[in-house]
Amino acid sequence: MSVEGTSTNVIRGWGCTPTGEPPPAAVATENTSSTSKGCLATIFTKGWRRTTLYAILVFLMILVFLNIALTLWIVGALKLTMNGVGPIRIVKGGIHVDGQAWVVDNLVASTITSQVAQPITIHSHRNFTVQVAEPDSSDHSKLFIKRDHLEFSGRALHVRDARGGPVFSAARDEVRVFSDSLAVDGPGGINVRSAVQVPIVRAPPAFDLQLESLTRRLDLRAPENIFLESRAGKIDITSHGNIKLDSVVGAIKLNAQNIVINNLKEAVRTETRNKNVRSTKVYQLCACATGKLFLAAPESPCVAHDDDTELCR
């Protein structure tokens, strides 16, 4: 009994693990089928379990191939490279875009520049807004570019030339133009509703200078002097009503070689004309008590006739 039990243990051990002496040929022949069945896993020997395992392995292999194919398709469609995505390349300090770029929502950037010798075009279907703001501050500046006008909101607007010099500045309190002259083309000119403070007002060459108020009066005020100068032409002052020259402290001086006052009324002669004096167009310039000027004959006194009620009225 002990011998058989020992031989049986040796046979089983040899069939599963190569330990001990090999079994006799007769015993090995009888237990070949049982030994092979005992060494293999049970799941490989049953029909439905084996089929299920193979099906799971095939399904996993299909998933792996689908993932690889989908990854390759995404890489090809987006043109992914080591430097960027399609026309977008990652460079030092930012990104480089070739062609057109569509921005769906917001674009946050510190600097937007074009390529060398290439223009940059920003197109929007409705409006284009540029906003600059500090993270912890409520103050911000906005630039609205709409279809028919341009709007800017901020504390001040500064325009500079290519050298960095100021050209135009606009704020709530004042608007400044730093060029040599401000030229406004068009028949309307400049329409000012309040006041204009300028050191000099002049017209361009070959043009007239007109200061006009259509419905109200026109005031020229200065703390010291007001100069009206025309170096190559004349100065015309036309008024529908009265023109008043008033000097509080000083005098009003008319300095010219010829002073001509047209359309003055002539006084009626109070004495008989001297026949020895030949007829001339030289008259006396007289003044009424009200300051109104009139002309009188050279041989008559420089007074108005008592019956004349229209001359000094």
Element (DSSP H or E) covering residue 51: helix 47-78
pLDDT tens readout for residues 16-52? 555 555 555 555 555 555 555 555 555 455 678 888 8
At 118-137, the pLDDT tens digits run: 888 888 888 888 888 877 77
Tokens of 256: 């010219």
State phi, psi for 78 to the nearest 5 degrees: -85, -5
For residue 66, pLDDT beyond 90? yes
Once rounded to an integer, what is the mean pLDDT over residues 298-311?
74
What's the chain look like in SS3? CHHHHHHHHHHHHHHHCCCCCCCCHHHHHHCHHHHHHHHCCHHHCCHHHHHHHHHHHHHHHHHHHHHHHHHHHHHHHHCECCCEECCEEEECCEEEECCCCCCCCCCCCCCCCCCCCCCCCCCCCCCEEEEEECCCCCCEEEEEECCCCEEEECCEEEEECCCCCEEEEEECCCEEECCCCCCCCCCCCCCCCCCCCCCCCCCCCCCCCCCCCCCCCCCCCCCCCCCCCCCCCCCCCCCCCCCCCCCCCCCCCCCCCCCCCCCCCECCCCCCCCCCCCCCCCCEEEECCCCCEEEECCCCCCCCCCCCCCCCC
- For the cut 90, the answer to whether the pLDDT of residue 11 exceeds it is no
Distances (CA, A) of 103 to 7, 74, 77, 83, 122: 84, 21, 19, 21, 11
- In this prediction, residue 287 carries a pLDDT of 80
Calculate mean pLDDT across residues 68-77.
Answer: 91
**pLDDT of 60 above 90:** yes
Q: 105 or 66: which carries more pLDDT confidence? A: 66
pTM: 0.40
Q: Is the pLDDT of residue 246 over 90?
A: no
Model confidence band, residue 1 (pLDDT cutoffs 50, 70, 90): very low
- pLDDT greater at residue 116 or residue 15: 116
pLDDT value of residue 14: 46
Beta-carbon count within 10 A of 185 CB: 7
The pairing of strands 128-133 and 140-145 is antiparallel
pLDDT-derived band at 56 (thresholds 50, 70, 90) equals very high
**Contact present, 297 and 271 (Cβ < 8 Å):** no
pLDDT tens for 184-230 read 777 777 777 777 777 777 777 777 777 777 777 777 777 777 777 77
